[in-house]
Amino acid sequence: MPEVSFDQNLSQQQVLSPQMRQSLDILQANSLELSQLLQQAIETNPVLELTADETSLESNSPEEAEHDMETLSELDDDWRELQILERQNNSVSAESEANRDHYYNSIVGSLTLQQHLLNQVSESAAPPQVKIAAQELIGELDDRGFYNDTLESIAIRSESDLRTLESAKALLQNCTPHGVGAASLEESLLIQLHHLGHHSGIVVRMVENHLGDLARRKIPEISRSLGVPIEATNKAAELISKLTPDPGAQFDPTSNPHITPDIYISLNSEGNLTTSLSGQHIPEVSINATYKELMASSKDSTTRHYLRDRIRDGKTLIRSISQRQETLLAIADELIEKQTEFFHKGFKALKPLTMNDLAVNIGVHPATISRAVNAKYMQCPQGLIELRLLFTSGYQASDGGQIANTGVKETIQQLIAEENTAKPLSDSAMEKLLKEQGIAIARRTIAKYREQLGILPSNLRKRFS
């Protein structure tokens, strides 16, 4: 009989708390994404409220700001360790890779809501007359997927009778996206709840009777009116917040993301560069004082603990926003100092600058800089610029100065724009011309940059008269 042995191993596993993950998400989000994160937080955390008080995002003292930077660096170290562990513990199967490829290869664009619904109606098992009525109703939907008229009014101008139109409406309300075919927001939300299996209960009563109060975050009033505990009301509100008030938006051809700058750099009247942050899409949030008082006065330990945790989460959220803003301002100030010539002369004057260089100057981890500039844009004298474009390696010119590779690419573009098209410049010829300008760069590097710029080789650029 083989021997049976038991071994005990001690292993260390890095786990990020939800609060730590949230801080990293906020740092990485652009202003529009941050607005969505905050709206979601307000909907799910009852102690948070929108406020017009500009002191809701309080400025930190120098000691707190330094602590925030240290915290961000620690979060980045923790995140990198976690990613390494996850890559070690999660292998992607060939089948899942194939499924993912099939999914992405199956994506098609420009499908309207009406086309999407017509496809589902045509494939349904409904009677022909109901399908015809459904096609008529689809033509009555707006971009949100709602009707702007009653079925009775539609029946007057329709070839289908009211009963058939009602059957057609029921057919549409079983189509995806769930929530279309409604005459109001309330009806749309009820349709979505029905598909989630909620036909009655607190959540349905809240939609039917307290949508206005819910929009104003009057959770205590709703709780008293329904005669249920605050915790149950909050759970129902959290479920409702996950529903969509605009079910047809994903098919709206005008709903493409709009680029909004997170940083503004401009010249003041004295010709000096100044920085500011965009707050256009970022709602201001604060902790509702009523919940603070309720936590202090409540005799129910469960309520006190619940409110304490929600208030703690709210403070963490507000602090994370403050950290994000301070980090972006610090980055903007460093960019002004390191890339002054760029803001006056453009990319040709861009100097080599890496995220590591900036991280050292600000006192954070390079990964913090990478997340902070991710998918973010800056409005400056040179136009709307993606922040990542200002970080680039480079070369040393013959005069001892530094030139970024983006500047080299711009010079290559200029040389080709000015060349004799009957006798275009070869890569070797450009190498010599660049050397004459004090830029020592290998021919193969010129070829690489030329390909990146989408410029053909000289034999294919030649034009014959």
**pLDDT band at 281; cut points 50, 70, 90:** low
**pLDDT band at 330; cut points 50, 70, 90:** very high
Question: Burial letters for 250-274: b for 16+ Cβ neighbours within 10 Å, e otherwise?
Answer: ebeeeeeeeebbbbebeeeeeeebe
CA distance 331 to 247: 39
% of the chain exceeding 90 in pLDDT: 7
Answer for the pair 254, 113: CB distance below 8 angstroms, yes or no. no
**108 exposed, middle or buried (CB, 10 Å; 0-12, 13-18, 19+)?**
exposed
Task: With residue 376 as reference, give the H or E element that holds it.
Answer: none
CA distance 332 to 269: 19
**pLDDT band at 57; cut points 50, 70, 90:** very low
Q: Would you say residue 15 has pLDDT above 70?
A: no
- Looking at residue 192, what is its pLDDT? 92
> What does the pLDDT look like over 80-107, one tens digit per residue?
444 444 444 444 444 544 544 443 343 3
Name which of 52-61, 151-160, 263-272 the model is least confident about: 52-61
CA distance 445 to 393: 13
**pLDDT band at 155; cut points 50, 70, 90:** confident
- Looking at residue 62, what is its pLDDT? 47
Instruction: Report the candidate in 237, 172, 227 with the shortest Cα–Cα distance to residue 206.
Output: 237
**pLDDT band at 401; cut points 50, 70, 90:** low
Mean pLDDT taken over the chain: 78
Name 10's Cβ contacts closer than 8 Å, sequence gap at least 6: none
CA distance 179 to 186: 10
Neighbour count for residue 98 (Cβ, 10 Å):
10
Q: Would you say residue 402 has pLDDT above 80?
A: no
- Looking at residue 144, what is its pLDDT? 84
**pLDDT band at 333; cut points 50, 70, 90:** very high
**103 exposed, middle or buried (CB, 10 Å; 0-12, 13-18, 19+)?**
exposed
Answer for the pair 138, 121: CB distance below 8 angstroms, yes or no. yes
- Looking at residue 96, what is its pLDDT? 46
Residue type, 264: Y
Question: Burial letters for 389-427: b for 16+ Cβ neighbours within 10 Å, e otherwise?
Answer: ebbbebbeeeeeeebbbbbbbbbbeebbeebeeeebbbb
Is the four-CA dihedral 171, 175, 181, 184 of positive or negative sign?
Answer: positive
Neighbour count for residue 14 (Cβ, 10 Å):
14
CA distance 284 to 318: 9
- Looking at residue 84, what is its pLDDT? 43
Give the largest CA-CA distance in the chain. 92
**What stretches of 61-198 adopt beta strand conformation (E)?**
none
Answer for the pair 275, 330: CB distance below 8 angstroms, yes or no. no
CA distance 431 to 152: 77
pLDDT mean over 64-70: 51
- Looking at residue 334, what is its pLDDT? 92
- Looking at residue 354, what is its pLDDT? 84
CATH topology of domain 394-461: Arc Repressor Mutant, subunit A (1.10.10)
> What does the pLDDT look like over 288-325, one tens digit per residue?
888 888 888 888 888 888 888 888 988 989 898 888 88
Q: How do the domains of the chain map onto residue ranges? A: 113-251, 394-461
Structure tokens at 458: 């000289």
Whether the bond between 283 and the residue before it is cis, its omega within 30 degrees of 0, is no
> What does the pLDDT look like over 194-229, one tens digit per residue?
988 998 889 999 998 988 888 777 888 888 888 988
How many degrees, rounded to 5, is the angle at CA 19 between CA 233 and CA 316? 80
- Looking at residue 106, what is its pLDDT? 39
Answer for the pair 442, 431: CB distance below 8 angstroms, yes or no. yes
Q: Would you say residue 188 has pLDDT above 80?
A: yes
Structure tokens at 247: 């079910």
Place of tokens 């390191």: 338
- Looking at residue 103, what is its pLDDT? 38
Q: Would you say residue 60 has pLDDT above 60?
A: no
- Looking at residue 44, what is its pLDDT? 87
- Looking at residue 190, what is its pLDDT? 92
pLDDT mean over 372-383: 87
Task: With residue 65 as reference, give the H or E element that holds it.
Answer: helix 62-89
Place of tokens 């703690």: 312
Q: Would you say residue 400 has pLDDT above 60?
A: no
**pLDDT band at 189; cut points 50, 70, 90:** very high
pLDDT mean over 126-131: 90
Question: Burial letters for 325-349: b for 16+ Cβ neighbours within 10 Å, e otherwise?
Answer: bbbbebbbbbbbebbeebbeeebbb
> What does the pLDDT look like over 221-255, one tens digit per residue?
888 888 988 888 888 888 888 888 888 877 755 54
- Looking at residue 301, what is its pLDDT? 85
Neighbour count for residue 191 (Cβ, 10 Å):
21
Instruction: Report the candidate in 122, 224, 252 with the shortest Cα–Cα distance to residue 175.
Output: 122
CA distance 282 to 35: 5
Answer for the pair 285, 30: CB distance below 8 angstroms, yes or no. no
Residue type, 220: P
Answer for the pair 202, 228: CB distance below 8 angstroms, yes or no. yes
Place of tokens 């034009």: 463
Q: Phi and psi (nearest 5°) for 97?
A: -65, -40
Ordered DSSP codes for 201-247 = SHHHHHHHH-HHHHHTT-HHHHHHHHT--HHHHHHHHHHHHTS-S-T
- Looking at residue 63, what is its pLDDT? 53
